[in-house]
Amino acid sequence: MKTSTAALSLALYAQSIYAFPRAMYDSAEHFAALQKRAGPQGGAPLPLVPPPFDPALQYVSNQGQYKFVAPGPGDERGPCPGLNALANHNYLPHNGVATIQQFVDATNKGFGMSRDLSTFLAVYGAIIDGNGAGWSIRGTPHTGISGSHGNYETDSSPCRGDLNQWGSNSDLQITQFKRLYALQPNAATANYNLDVLRTFRTQRFTESIQKNPYFSYQPFTGMEVSQAAFTFIYRFMANKSAEYPEGRLDKATLKSFMSIQGPENDLKWVPGNEKFPDYFYKRHPSDEYSIPYFQTDILYFAQADPRILGVGCNQGKVNTYSTIDPAVLTNGAYTAQQAAANPVCFATAFAKAEAPLLTGLSATLLAPLYSALDSATSGLNCKAIGSVNQSAVALCPGFALYGGPNGPVAPGAIQN
C-alpha cells in the first residue's frame, strides 16, 4: 500500500513536470487550479506533489575534501552566495574562477540545479562576461560577474546593494538582509519560502525606486536574473527532509549561506564566508530546478506584483520610475502582454539580440551562446527579437553594458 502510493505520486510527479509547462502557458485556469495546493514552498504551484526524499542522494558533504576553507588572498568571491559557498567548499575551484563544465557540475552537485538552467547561466557568463570558456565569480568587466552590471548583475537584488546606490554591487547590505530576516519573526517556525520572498521582492523593487536614482530594470537582468536572485533563496538554500521534501529554509541555514554571523541583536556580514551548513540536503535528482520550473515561480511572483514583468527605470532622480513598452523596445517583436506571459522567452530573446553589441563578436563566434540559449528554452516556443531599439534603452540614465564591482554613488542616492 505504502509502496504503491509512493510509486503513484512519483509517477504523477514525473508526468506533471513534463506536462506542466505547456499546459500552464495555455491556460490561466490551469495555473490557478494548481495553486490551490499550498505546501512548505508557500502558494507557488510547484511542486505538484511532494518530491521524494532520499538522504543518500541528497546529502551535501561539508567534510574532508569539501570542508569549509575561507577565501584567502587571490581567491575571488562576488555577488552570488551560491557560487561563493561552492568555492569555499571546493565544489568549485577555490580561487573562484571556473569553466562552464565546472559550474554546471558544481551547481548540480551542491544544490540540484538542473543542467538546462546551469548551462544557460554558465555559457552566458563565459561568452558575455568571461573568456568564452569560463569566468570569475567576482572579477571586473570582461572577466567575471561582479563586472557585469547591466548585462548580468543588476539592481534590486535581495541582499547585495545597488551599484549606484552604495558604490558596490557585490557587498551585502546588512539593512537589506535584516529586512528579509525580520519577515519571519519566530525562529521555531521560520521558513523563508516563496511567499516570504515575493513579499520581499516587492519591497526591494519599491526600495530601489525610492533610493537609487539610476535604478534600471531591463528584460534579461531585471525580469529574469533578478527574479532568480529571489527564488533561488528558497529553491536552493532550503534544507530538504522527509518532513519537508520541498524544503524548509530556517534562520540558521539562511545565515550560513548568506555569510551572516553573530547574535540576533548584532548580525554581521563576513565577506565571502558563505557556508554549507552541517547535514544539508539538496533537491532530489527527480526534482531539479529547471527553466520551466523557474518560469512558473516568476509568474507566481508577478501575480503579487505585476511591475516585475515590465521594463523600466528611474530617470536620474529617486521616485521617477517610468516603464518602457516592450513593443517599442523590440521594434514590435513582443507586445507587453506577450512579454509578460512568457518572461523567460522575452528576456532570452532580448539577451540574444543584445549579444553582438555587448561582446563585439560576430554571429559565428556567438553561435555557442545562441545554441545554449535556444536549447535551454526549446520547450517554451520562444519568438525571436530581430533588433533592439537602442534609443528606447538609452532613455535609462542608469543603463550600462558593463560595470562593477565598484562604481560611483549617484547624486541623490539614499543609503539606509
The site for ligand NAG (CB under 6 A) is made up of: 239, 241, 243, 253, 277, 279-281, 328, 331, 389, 391-392, 395
Burial (0-12, 13-18, 19+ Cβ within 10 Å), 36: exposed
Q: How far apart are CA 311 and CA 323, in angstroms?
A: 6
Give SS3 for 134. Answer: strand
Identity of the residue, 25 or 287, whose beta carbon is nearer to ligand HEM in the bound complex: 287
Identity of the residue, 51 or 201, whose beta carbon is nearer to ligand HEM in the bound complex: 201
Q: How far is the CB of 334 from ligand HEM (least distance, A)?
A: 23
DSSP 240: P
**What is the residue type of 88?**
N
Please state the three-class secondary structure of 63-106 as a single string: CHHHCCCCCCCCCCCCCCHHHHHHHHCCCCCCCCEEEHHHHHHH
List the single partner that 120 binds among ligand HEM, ligand NAG, none, CB under 5 to 8 Å by kind: none
The residue to which cell 531599439 is assigned: 389
List the single partner that 40 binds among ligand HEM, ligand NAG, none, CB under 5 to 8 Å by kind: none
State the number of CA atoms in the 13 A half-sphere of 247 facing the CB. 30
Q: How far is the CB of 119 from ligand HEM (least distance, A)?
A: 9
Q: How far apart are CA 118 and CA 103, in angstroms?
A: 7
| Contact footprint for ligand HEM (CB under 6 A) | 79-83, 103, 107, 111, 113, 118, 121-122, 125, 145, 152-154, 157-160, 225-226, 229, 232-233, 236-237
Q: How far is the CB of 3 from ligand HEM (least distance, A)?
A: 33
Secondary element (H or E) of residue 390: helix 390-393
Identity of the residue, 51 or 147, whose beta carbon is nearer to ligand HEM in the bound complex: 147
List the single partner that 236 binds among ligand HEM, ligand NAG, none, CB under 5 to 8 Å by kind: ligand HEM
Cell of 182: 525580520
List the single partner that 111 binds among ligand NAG, ligand HEM, none, CB under 5 to 8 Å by kind: ligand HEM
Q: How far is the CB of 340 from ligand HEM (least distance, A)?
A: 20
List the single partner that 225 binds among ligand HEM, ligand NAG, none, CB under 5 to 8 Å by kind: ligand HEM
Identity of the residue, 236 or 294, whose beta carbon is nearer to ligand NAG in the bound complex: 236
Interacting residues of 299 by C-beta distance below 8 A, sequence separation 6+: 24, 31, 343
Q: How far is the CB of 174 from ligand NAG (least distance, A)?
A: 22
List the single partner that 151 binds among ligand NAG, ligand HEM, none, CB under 5 to 8 Å by kind: none
Among 81, 404, 107, 131, residue whose Cα is nearest residue 270: 81
Identity of the residue, 241 or 315, whose beta carbon is nearer to ligand NAG in the bound complex: 241
